[in-house]
Amino acid sequence: MTDRYAVIGNPIAHSKSPRIHAAFAAQTGQDMQYDALLGRLDGFAETVRDFARNGGRGLNVTIPFKLEAHALAHERSARAEAARAVNTLVFEQGRIIGDNTDGAGLVQDLTHNLGLTLKGARILLLGAGGAARGVILPLLQLAPTSLCIANRTVARAQELQHEFAPRATSMGHNCALIGCGYDDLAGQSFDVVINATAASLSDDAPPLPAGLYAPHAAAYDMVYGKGRTPFLQQAAADGAEILADGLGMLVEQAAEAFTLWRGVRPNTAPVLQTLRAELSVS
Ligand code: NAP
């Protein structure tokens, strides 16, 4: 019987995940089916259990269910625990295992696809929501010189600083971890600036001071499909040399989930290239 997978979210019609996983399956010769599942806002757990009961092997989880998926899982990976959110579920012998592949996807896109060196870099992470939380640990593991988390609601950035400080210290890289507000960034410069806020979804950008980008710096917006977002426009005007959106992160987090489910790693480059070409003509 063909193994069944799906992405569950609400809304879900826009999701590119079914196409990405169909391409991975064709490329690696895996016999699997991957659909889009509209989750009921008041019935997420029931939909997941039904899917598993009917032979489902795994799910990707997207907005707004990542926290519920975390709560539903019987077991969670260390990176899902750190993120406090789950974007990948594996069903194994009646148990639900939760993982989070977003951070690994971002890191793979930054280091492999964009060729950035994060060891020794000064990184600025904008936002303190689920997406930001999920990438802190994977970024710290790359031994940057500093990781500054800046957020509109400053207390949320400071909470992340306090929560992750012991992890940063235990890694022994001497990485400075800072939580602050946007005003505190004046006079500082960074090698990589990552926008993990939802501002781009409403054609907005965090209010950043000028002079933020060091020579050859990169600006990365986790949002994709919105063209050059206000954040990326601001970064270009402020001298960022490399500008990237989150399409690569989307494809790479999918590849990480696919590898977890199927035990074989797909080649992401042709899939990313196809999606990129489609976005540029739409
Ligand atoms: P979330 O938990 O709702 O957090 C939203 C964050 O954005 C908060 O830090 C919030 O600040 C900030 N924010 C919202 N509007 C803002 C504005 N106008 N100006 C400044 N800050 C603003 O959302 P999330 O789950 O972290 O997702 C964030 C973004 O990442 C989304 O756009 C999502 O699409 C994207 N994402 C992309 C991928 C990918 O694969 N490419 C994966 C995951 C997420 P406050 O704390 O002050 O409210």
| Token pair recorded at residue 36 | 């889009």
> 271 and 195 in one domain?
no
Answer yes or no: do 131 and 77 share one domain.
no
- Phi first, then psi, for residue 124 (nearest 5°) are -115, 125
Give the model's pLDDT for residue 148.
98
- Here the CATH number for the domain that contains residue 256 is 3.40.50.10860
Same domain, 212 and 253: no
Kindly give the number of the ligand 1 atom that is closest to the alpha carbon of 127.
9
Structure tokens at 73: 């899982």
Using a 6 Å cutoff on CB, does residue 156 contact ligand 1?
yes
Binding site membership of 249 for ligand 1 (Cβ less than 6 Å): yes
96-101, long-range: CB within 8 Å, 24+ apart, which pairs? 96/48, 96/52, 96/72, 97/73, 98/69, 98/70, 98/72, 98/73, 99/257, 99/260, 100/66, 100/134, 101/253, 101/254, 101/256, 101/257, 101/260
Whether 46 and 174 map to the same domain: the answer is no
Residue 28 domain flag: yes
Q: Are residues 18 and 136 in the same domain?
A: no
Beta strands 95-99 and 146-150: pairing type? unpaired
Rounded-to-integer distance, Cα 119 and Cα 140, Å: 9
Tokens of 3: 């193994």
| CA 258–ligand 1 middle distance (angstroms) | 25
**In terms of domains, do 125 and 180 share one?**
yes
Output the pLDDT for position 227.
87
3-state secondary structure of 190: strand
For residues 212 and 183, is the Cβ–Cβ distance under 8 A? no
Residues 140 and 118 in one domain: yes
Q: Does residue 119 carry a catalytic annotation?
A: no
Q: Which domain holds residue 16?
A: 3-100+248-276
- Residue 194 Cα to ligand 1 midpoint, Å, equals 11
Only one residue has tokens 């295992």, namely 97
* Judgement on whether residues 21 and 73 belong to the same structural domain of the protein: yes
Q: How many residues does the chain have?
A: 282
267, 27 contact by CB (below 8 A): yes
Tell me, using a 6 A CB cutoff, whether residue 106 lines ligand 1.
Answer: no
Can you read off the two tokens belonging to residue 189?
């410069």
Per-residue tens of pLDDT for the chain, all 282 residues:
899 999 999 999 999 999 999 999 999 999 999 999 999 999 999 999 999 999 999 999 999 999 999 999 999 999 999 999 999 999 999 999 999 999 999 999 999 999 999 999 999 999 999 899 999 999 999 999 999 999 999 999 999 999 999 999 999 889 999 999 999 999 999 999 999 999 998 999 999 999 999 999 999 999 998 789 999 999 999 999 999 999 999 999 999 999 999 999 999 999 999 999 988 776
pTM: 0.95
Residues 259 and 219 in one domain: no
Can you tell me the distance from the alpha carbon of 14 to that of 275, in angstroms, rounded to the nearest whole number? 13
Examine residue 96 and state whether it is found in any structural domain, yes or no. yes
Same domain, 204 and 263: no
- Is 232 in the same domain as 112? yes
Please report whether residue 282 resides in a domain: no
Task: Check whether residue 135 and residue 259 sit in a common domain.
Answer: no
User: Does the residue 281 lie in any domain?
Assistant: no
DSSP one-letter string for 121-181: -EEEEE--SHHHHHHHHHHHTT--SEEEEE-SSHHHHHHHHHHHHHHHHHHTS--EEEEE-
CA distance 268 to 254: 9
pLDDT at site 113: 97
| Residue 204, ligand 1, Cβ within 6 A | yes
Report how many domains make up the chain: 2
CA 127 – ligand 1 centroid, Å: 6
